[in-house]
Amino acid sequence: MKIAQVAPLFESVPPTAYGGTERVVSYLTEALVAQGHEVTLFASGDSDTAATLQPMCERSLRTDPRRPDWVMRHTMMVDEVFSQAHGFDVIHWHIDFLHYPLAQRFSVPSVTTLHGRLDLPDLVELHQQFQAMPLVSISDSQRAPMLQANWCGTVYHGLPLSLYGFHETPGDYFAFVGRVSPEKGLDRAIGIAIACGTPLRIAAKVDRADEAYFEQVIRPLLDHPLIDFVGEIGDAQKNDFIGRAKALLFPVDWPEPFGLVMIEALACGTPVVAWQRGSVPEVIKHGVTGFVVDNQADAIAAARNIHRIDRTRCREVFERRFSADTMAHRYLQVYQALIDARSDNNAQAAALKAA
């Protein structure tokens, strides 16, 4: 299949540091290439891929000191993709919505994965106007605020099998990985660890917007001898950091659209204690790959019982449900369905014309 992947230009594909969307686009692109498809990746020029790279700017916008205008750069990319559109069987967009006006006027099938949360009034109105746009959700729960949109499927994120190694025997600590922001629930994670008498190691980034929250709510909690605030860590360190943990704590207080770190944990064989919000019950099977809880008391009980979860089983579930190959396979089904629907429409139109 001839496939265009269109990535955001904010980070390179794959990104050097943070950039969840760009990471997933990279895993998907490489898996599709490995499966023998002809993939063209529209991304920043400092990207690295086995696909044909179409560089849409010299370097990722976030790292470009000239502070390029992101709307302009993405508009130019949309134009460029459509000027090549007839060379593709399908175009897969990861850049939100800037392409919608053109996509719905082109005969080449376009599909858009929405990578963020959807409970914003503006987004609902947008998709009322563009209700024919084929969309993919990254969890079923993500769709809740806009059930009426043209959903073609849910495709869970996936990781290359070799990215994280299986860790059979954990050390004696819980891990927290993520941003320090109210919706990520780090204060809850600290409470769980202290109640269990188990050390908590925290790999966390403090965005500028969250600095006040960090100073006022989190910093006073960090003095406890069980709590170790490691700060930001790179991909290389993540394998051991998560893999050696008894459990990953994921006490989110928002409608998490997917939660990549949960499948990173499963890839390591590390079970997850997570709050029942957003995608969580779809990603973590209660009692099998971790525990899905509703409140702090249940979370503490779950953390105490985490040894009951079979780490080998966690890795098995990861390999089956959350590998990059599984993700690529699911997307290929979505692409094929769109191509078939387009052909059916064309055949129907031709039949009407002939009649």
List of residues contacting its own copies (CB under 8 A): 66, 68-69, 71-73, 75-76, 78-80, 82, 97-98, 100-102, 104-105, 120-123, 125-126, 129-130
Both structure tokens of 190? 């600290």
- Least CB distance to its own copies at residue 123 (A): 8
How far from chain centre, in Å, is Cα 169? 27
Residue closer to its own copies, measured from CB, 6 or 206: 6
CA distance 170 to 167: 7
Which residues, 6+ apart, have CB-to-CB distance to 152 below 8 Å?
111, 134, 135, 136, 334, 337, 338
- Least CB distance to its own copies at residue 39 (A): 23
- Least CB distance to its own copies at residue 122 (A): 5
Residue closer to its own copies, measured from CB, 73 or 277: 73
Residue closer to its own copies, measured from CB, 80 or 325: 80
Residue closer to its own copies, measured from CB, 43 or 186: 43
**Strand ranges across the sheet with 247-250:** 227-229, 200-205, 174-179, 247-250, 272-275, 290-293
- Least CB distance to its own copies at residue 91 (A): 14
- Least CB distance to its own copies at residue 67 (A): 9
- Least CB distance to its own copies at residue 309 (A): 41
CA distances from 250 to 64, 67, 200, 221, 354 (A): 33, 35, 12, 18, 59
How far from chain centre, in Å, is Cα 242? 18
Residue closer to its own copies, measured from CB, 126 or 163: 126
- Least CB distance to its own copies at residue 95 (A): 11
CA distances from 19 to 7, 13, 85 (A): 11, 9, 26
Residue closer to its own copies, measured from CB, 105 or 208: 105
CA distance 255 to 252: 8
- Least CB distance to its own copies at residue 60 (A): 15
- Residues 186 and 180: beta-carbon distance below 8 Å: yes
Residue closer to its own copies, measured from CB, 82 or 254: 82
- Residues 139 and 279: beta-carbon distance below 8 Å: yes
Centre a 10 Å sphere on the Cβ of residue 138 and count the other Cβ atoms it contains: 26
Residue closer to its own copies, measured from CB, 129 or 348: 129
